[in-house]
A and B are shown apart, each in its own frame.
Chain A
C-alpha cells in the first residue's frame, strides 16, 4: 500500500444536532486514501458524499471520529486550518458560480494571494493552472463571464489548482455540461493526475464518468461506505448498486448480459473500449470456428 495521505476514522456527523429536524449524514465512515491515488466516491443524491468531502478540508467538524492528513488530525491545531485547506483542494459542484473577479487570471490568483505568496510566484502559478486545465493565456485576460460553460468550469478548477493542493477533491465536475465539455473536463483531470501525481478524489453519481478514470471506487449509501474496491469488483455487484439508486456502467451491464448468453468474455469489463474489443475478438474467433 502507498503512503496514506488521507485517513478517515469512525467519522460521525449530524446536521442540526439536537433540533427536532436533526439528520445523521455520516455514520461511522472509515476510509484510507493513498498518496497519488485516483479514487471515485459514488453515491446517489442525499447519500452523504458532499458532506463527507467537506470533512476532508475541515469545512465541517466531525461529531466524533477524526480526519488525518499525513497522519495528523486536521482539527488538532486551529491555526493550521488554512494549511489544511491549501493541501486539500476542494472543487464544489458548479464551481463556476464562485467566480467573481474581472478577469479569469485574477480569479485564479485569488487562492495563491490568500496564501500570501510573492507576485512572481502567483503569476507563475496562474499560468501553470490555466495551462493545466487547457485555457490559453489570452483567455486568462477575458472576463470569466464571457467564457462558455465548460471554460468557466475549467477556470474555476484552475482557481483551486493554483493553490497547488496535494489532494484534489472534485464534486461532480462534469455535471450540467454538454458531452464535449464533459469529456474535455474529465480528460483534463486524467491528464492532471498523470502529469502531477496528485491524489484525486472524484465525486459523482454517474458511473459512466467515473469508470473510465479511477483506480478505485468507494460507494457511499445512507451515510455509510458500503463498497470500497477496484471498479471491476464494484461493477460486478450491479443489482446491489441498483438498489441504492445507482447503476453499473452500461458497457459493464452489456458485457455481463452477453456472458450470460454464452459469450466467452473475461470478467470485469466495464469501459466501452474494452467491451468493444472483447466482443470483436470473440466474434472473430467464432467466425473462424464457423468457417472450419
Chain B
C-alpha cells in the first residue's frame, strides 16, 4: 500500500485529540483558501500554516509526503501543460512550435504548489483521525440533508464497514493466493492478458467469501435488531472541548488572513 489516504498514524498530539468535525472544517477551510489565493505571498502563508499544523500532529512529515508518490505523474503532467500551453507576453524560449513564457512557468509553479498542498494538507486529517471518527464526522455533516432523504447514517455506516473489512480482505487475498500457488498458480509472470487471467482463481473465491461475509454480517446485525435510521445513540458522543474552541479560533484568524491577503495583494 503506497497511498497514505486512509492510513491512521497513532500519536498523542493536540491535533489527534481534536474533534473530527473541527478537523473536517479545518481541512475544508484550508482547501477553500488554496483555491481563493493566487499570489505567491498567499501560497507562502498557507504553506507556513500547513507546516505548523504538521508540526503539531507529531506525525513524521515523511508520512504526509508519501501520499504524493501516487500523484507524481499528475503533477508532472499538470506542470508540463501549464509550461507549454500558457499564452503570455514574456517569451523566454521559443523554437519550432514550442514557446515557453514566464507566465507559463509561474502558472505551473502555482498549480503544482496548489496540488501538493492539497494532498499533503488533507493527509493531515486522515493521518490524525481514525476512520471511525472520520465517518462519525461525515455523518454529522450530512445530518441536515436527512430532511431531503439523504441516508446520512447509512452512508457513514457503509463507509465504516468498508474500512473495517479492508484488512480482512487483504488477509483473505493472501490466504487464497497461497492456496492457489500451492496448486501451481503463477501470479507474477506472463503478459498482461495472462496475468489478468491468472487473477480469476483469486477473484472468484474472494468475491464468494466477500458475499458470504456480507450476508453473515447482515444476519448478525438483524439478529441484534439493528435499525440505522431512528433513535440511535452513540457510544462515543462527539462533544466540543476547550481545545476545539482554540482550534476554531485559529481557523477564524487563518480565514481572516486569507481574505485580507486576497483583497490587498
Q: Does A194 contact B (CB under 8 A)?
A: no
Whether the Cβ atoms of A110 and B201 lie closer than 8 Å is yes
Q: Taking chain B's interface residues, is the majority helix, strand, or loop, or is none over half, making it mixed?
A: helix
Chain A residue numbers with a CB within 8 Å of B204 are 100
Chain B residue numbers with a CB within 8 Å of A40 are none
Whether the Cβ atoms of B205 and A100 lie closer than 8 Å is yes
Whether the Cβ atoms of B183 and A160 lie closer than 8 Å is yes
Of A86, A92, A145, A163, the contact of B179 (CB 8 Å cutoff): A92
Q: Does A24 contact B (CB under 8 A)?
A: no
Q: Does B146 contact A (CB under 8 A)?
A: no
- Complex CA–CA separation, A183 to B69 (angstroms): 55
For B212, give the chain A residue with the smallest CB separation.
Answer: A97
CB of B46, distance to nearest CB on chain A (Å): 35
Which has the most chain A C-beta neighbours within 10 Å: B176, B181, B205? B181
CB of B23, distance to nearest CB on chain A (Å): 27
Q: Does B193 contact A (CB under 8 A)?
A: no
Which has the most chain A C-beta neighbours within 10 Å: B181, B184, B185? B184
For A99, give the chain B residue with the smallest CB separation.
Answer: B205
For A156, give the chain B residue with the smallest CB separation.
Answer: B179
Proximity string of chain A (72-95) to chain B, C-beta cutoff 8 Å, 1 when within and 0 when not: 000000000010011001111001
Q: Does B209 contact A (CB under 8 A)?
A: yes
CB of B164, distance to nearest CB on chain A (Å): 20
Of B175, B182, B201, B208, the contact of A85 (CB 8 Å cutoff): B182
- Complex CA–CA separation, A110 to B181 (angstroms): 11
Of B176, B184, B186, the contact of A98 (CB 8 Å cutoff): B176
Of A54, A86, A114, the contact of B186 (CB 8 Å cutoff): A114
Chain B residue numbers with a CB within 8 Å of A92 are 175, 178-179, 182
Whether the Cβ atoms of A100 and B201 lie closer than 8 Å is yes
Whether the Cβ atoms of B176 and A59 lie closer than 8 Å is no
Question: Can you name 5 extra interface pairs (CB under 8 A) apart from A85-B183, A115-B184?
Answer: A90-B182, A91-B182, A97-B176, A110-B183, A110-B201
Write 15 A-B pairs (CB below 8 A) sorted by A numbering.
A59-B182, A82-B184, A82-B186, A85-B182, A85-B184, A90-B179, A92-B178, A92-B182, A99-B205, A100-B205, A110-B201, A111-B183, A114-B183, A115-B184, A160-B183
For the complex of A and B, the 6 pairs showing the least CB-CB separation, nearest first, are: A114-B184, A100-B204, A111-B183, A90-B182, A98-B179, A92-B179
